[in-house]
A = this chain, B = another copy of it.
Amino acid sequence: MAHKPRSQMIAETRGKLLSAGRRAFGTVGYAEASMDDFTAEAGLTRGALYHHFGDKKGLFAAVVSQIDAEVTVRLAEITERAGGGWRGFVESCAAYIEMAIEPEIQRIIHCDGPAVLGESWMTTSQSGCLACLVDDLERLKADGVVGDIDPEAAARLINGASLHAAQWIANSDDPEATSKKAVAAFRALLEGLRVRAAERVGETVN
């Protein structure tokens, strides 16, 4: 029994490296994270890292993917729980802002991510969150809730607005109050996407 099967050991080391790197990247940032330090912290050396991830950027990319996947899941849950529709969409957007406030996401995804992987990575590569937004918007458009706008374009604009709102909130003196203001303005902006009240049939404004 002394040793577990090979594949399991490998998965464990990958996991250890991933979480150690994630913690380092999320706290001190990519540039300040020493590979020697955080691999040692995981009981390993840089050798393991280079074997599994190629280089520092490779590990970073893996961390980004992991976080993105987690966020995607969380967003999907929230959208579903809110029962879809316009309200569900708005709720998921608000939740997106909330998540973007978390320091780890802030630092890794929105701060270092574009600089390290190239901003094209974040845009062209499939970001799960973005795909979520696009899906929602396409449904809403098909249902006639939102007007004739390109779903991806709207999703990206919403995405950008959310992220900026998040970092504004995160760095403000009174996050509570700032958040209220940001969400209010955000809801107002989103209203611009809906078909006008005059053009609609008999829907409640809220």
Measured CB to CB, the residues of A under 8 A from B are 29-31, 106, 110-112, 114-116, 118-120, 122-124, 147, 149-150, 152-154, 156-165, 167-168, 171, 178, 181-182, 184-186, 188-193, 196-198
Q: Is the pair A188, B115 in contact by a Cβ cutoff of 8 Å?
A: no
The 8 Å CB contact of A119, one of B111, B124, B149, B154, is: B111
Could you list some 10 contacts between A and B, CB below 8 A?
A29-B115, A115-B115, A122-B167, A123-B168, A153-B182, A153-B184, A158-B189, A160-B162, A188-B193, A192-B192
Q: Is the pair B165, A163 in contact by a Cβ cutoff of 8 Å?
A: no
Q: Is the pair B106, A119 in contact by a Cβ cutoff of 8 Å?
A: yes
Instruction: Given the known inter-chain contacts A160-B161, A163-B160, A165-B157, please indicate yes or no for A149 contacting B110, CB distance below 8 A.
Output: no
Please report the C-alpha to C-alpha distance between residue A181 and residue B112 in the assembled complex, in whole angstroms. Answer: 28
Please report the C-alpha to C-alpha distance between residue A147 and residue B191 in the assembled complex, in whole angstroms. Answer: 12
Please report the C-alpha to C-alpha distance between residue A10 and residue B21 in the assembled complex, in whole angstroms. Answer: 44
Chain B residues near A122 (CB, 8 Å)?
167
Q: Is the pair B171, A119 in contact by a Cβ cutoff of 8 Å?
A: yes
Q: How far is the CB of A169 from chain B (nearest CB, A)?
A: 9
Interface centre among A149, A156, A198 (most CB of B within 10 A): A156
